[in-house]
């Protein structure tokens, strides 16, 4: 029953994570759009301290939204804080990271073809890498570079590329991608927790006390909010990247990831300018062309060249009769797709990063094989290789007895 319980809990955590992420990123998109679309109000509104307003129609009604330059004359009884969308996204994402990649580090995080690690080492490197990346970001934001946007952006791009490369040298492709996503998500939520919300709390307290509002916390919160806005498209991509092994299993996966992060932030820049009334179609066109060229280059290049060069597929193993029986079934029914060199007519990269060329591979994915080929029986895909019921039961018996 454990494989089924594990899968159900993973589903519920991921489902909640996606819902929370939609709420957080949706709010980010909305408020950036709102800020960039506020019109100069009439004089009578300016006298009330309103900086800009906007009229909208939605859901069968009209809405008037106003933004105060400093604050209202009196604080309202109810004031909504947009923080739990961010916190719940990060908390559920961290739980998902632990549940899938750390609890089953041997399967999802460690790739012996990349680096020989035990589970404790892999988890320590993963959590340590995320923490280090966040500390470096905060260090830059407290350095003189923080007031030099172009220099800061260049530093962040270089450091981001180094982390993409570093994670790819430690973990499986899938594990490397998810750690880059966790690092970006941690930076985003720390911006909310450490700067945006405290700045807003200080402003609210000053307005409520009738004091002059210090603009500096608000300006810093705005800057961090802009950073988060440009990181939304990259982090969404990383949330879904585990479904696309053609990217994370590529021999240059880290470089592909860097390009996708850069292009998606560039495309986001187009929309940010558009909301301000600045139309630069060359940005969206160049971004789309960049994505198309990347897709073509990835499709035409050789996948998993590093693994093949290391001789993983050609590895000769001395197996017991029991293990050989398992390998015979796996090679006949599974390896056309789940291999470092797939020969299936549809799948050119091993689905979900599951490669079953050696006994070491089969041991690594043992629970997953039983869960998908025996329990749910949704593998092989559409039963293309005609695995029989007898072979499924054999797999369960042989793998269970080999533990």
Give me 57's structure tokens: 């129609």
Question: What pTM value is reported for the model?
Answer: 0.82
The pLDDT score that the predictor gives to residue 1 is 65
From first to last of its 403 residues, the chain has per-residue pLDDT tens of 676 788 889 899 999 999 999 999 998 889 888 888 898 888 888 888 899 999 999 988 999 999 988 778 778 888 888 889 999 999 999 999 999 999 989 888 998 889 999 999 999 999 999 999 999 999 999 999 988 989 999 999 999 999 999 999 999 999 999 999 999 999 999 999 999 999 888 888 888 888 888 888 888 888 898 899 999 999 999 999 988 888 998 889 999 999 999 999 999 999 989 888 899 999 999 999 999 999 998 888 754 444 444 444 444 567 888 888 888 898 899 988 898 888 887 787 788 888 888 888 888 888 888 888 888 888 888 888 999 999 888 888 888 876 6
Q: How far apart are CA 141 and CA 138, in angstroms?
A: 5
Q: How far apart are CA 345 and CA 389, in angstroms?
A: 24
Q: How far apart are CA 375 and CA 397, in angstroms?
A: 13
The pLDDT score that the predictor gives to residue 49 is 86
Q: What is the DSSP string of 26-86?
A: HHHHHHHHHHHHPBPPPHHHHTTTEEEEEEEEETTEEEEEEEESS--SS--S----TTHHH
Q: How far apart are CA 365 and CA 264, in angstroms?
A: 33
The pLDDT score that the predictor gives to residue 377 is 86
Give me 64's structure tokens: 């008037």
The answer to whether 37 touches 17, Cβ cutoff 8 Å, is no
Letter string b/e over residues 91-105, b meaning 16 or more CB atoms within 10 A of that residue's CB: ebbbebbeebbbbbb
Number of Cα atoms under 13 Å in the Cβ half of residue 341:
11
The pLDDT score that the predictor gives to residue 14 is 93
Bridge partners (DSSP) of residue 39 are: 53
The pLDDT score that the predictor gives to residue 364 is 84
The pLDDT score that the predictor gives to residue 302 is 55
Return the sign of the alpha-carbon dihedral for residues 359, 363, 368, 372.
positive
Helix, strand or coil, per DSSP, at residue 382:
helix
The pLDDT score that the predictor gives to residue 283 is 95
Letter string b/e over residues 234-267, b meaning 16 or more CB atoms within 10 A of that residue's CB: bbebbbebbebbbbbbbbebbebbbbbbbbbbbb
The answer to whether 213 touches 293, Cβ cutoff 8 Å, is no
The pLDDT score that the predictor gives to residue 166 is 97
């Amino acid at each position: 029953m454990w494989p089924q319980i594990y899968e159900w809990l993973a589903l519920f955590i991921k489902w909640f994570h996606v819902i929370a992420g939609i709420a957080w990123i949706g709010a980010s998109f909305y408020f950036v759009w709102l800020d960039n679309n506020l019109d100069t109000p009439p004089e009578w509104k300016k006298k009330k301290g309103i900086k800009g307003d906007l009229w909208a129609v939605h859901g069968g009604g009209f809405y008037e939204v106003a933004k105060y330059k400093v604050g209202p004359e009196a604080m309202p009884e109810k004031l909504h804080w947009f923080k739990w969308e961010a916190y719940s996204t990060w908390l559920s994402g961290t739980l998902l990271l632990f549940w899938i990649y750390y609890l089953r580090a041997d399967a999802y995080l460690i790739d012996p073809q990349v680096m020989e690690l035990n589970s404790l080492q892999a988890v320590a490197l993963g959590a340590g890498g995320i923490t280090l990346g966040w500390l470096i970001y905060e260090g830059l934001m407290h350095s003189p570079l923080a007031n030099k946007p172009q220099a800061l952006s260049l530093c962040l791009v270089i450091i981001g590329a180094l982390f993409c490369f570093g994670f790819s040298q430690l973990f499986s492709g899938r594990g490397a991608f998810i750690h880059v996503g966790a690092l970006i998500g941690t930076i985003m939520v720390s911006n909310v927790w450490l700067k945006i919300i405290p700045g807003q709390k200080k402003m609210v307290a000053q307005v409520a006390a009738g004091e002059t509002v210090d603009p500096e916390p608000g300006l810093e919160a705005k800057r961090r909010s802009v950073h988060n806005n440009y990181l939304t498209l990259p982090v969404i991509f990383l949330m879904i990247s585990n479904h696309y092994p053609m990217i994370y299993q590529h021999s240059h996966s880290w470089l592909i990831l860097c390009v996708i992060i850069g292009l998606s932030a560039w495309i986001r820049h187009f929309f940010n300018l558009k909301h301000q009334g600045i139309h630069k179609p060359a940005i969206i066109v160049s971004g789309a062309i960049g994505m198309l060229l990347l897709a073509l280059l990835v499709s035409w290049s050789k996948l998993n060249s590093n693994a093949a060069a290391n001789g993983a597929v050609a590895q000769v193993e001395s197996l017991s009769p029991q293990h050989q029986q398992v390998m015979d079934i796996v090679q006949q029914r599974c390896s056309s797709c789940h291999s470092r060199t797939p020969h299936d007519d549809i799948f050119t990269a091993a689905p979900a990063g599951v490669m079953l060329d050696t006994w070491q591979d089969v041991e690594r994915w043992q629970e997953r094989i039983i869960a998908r080929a025996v329990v749910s029986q949704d593998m092989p895909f559409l039963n293309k290789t005609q695995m029989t019921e007898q072979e499924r039961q054999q797999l369960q018996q042989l793998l269970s007895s080999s533990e």
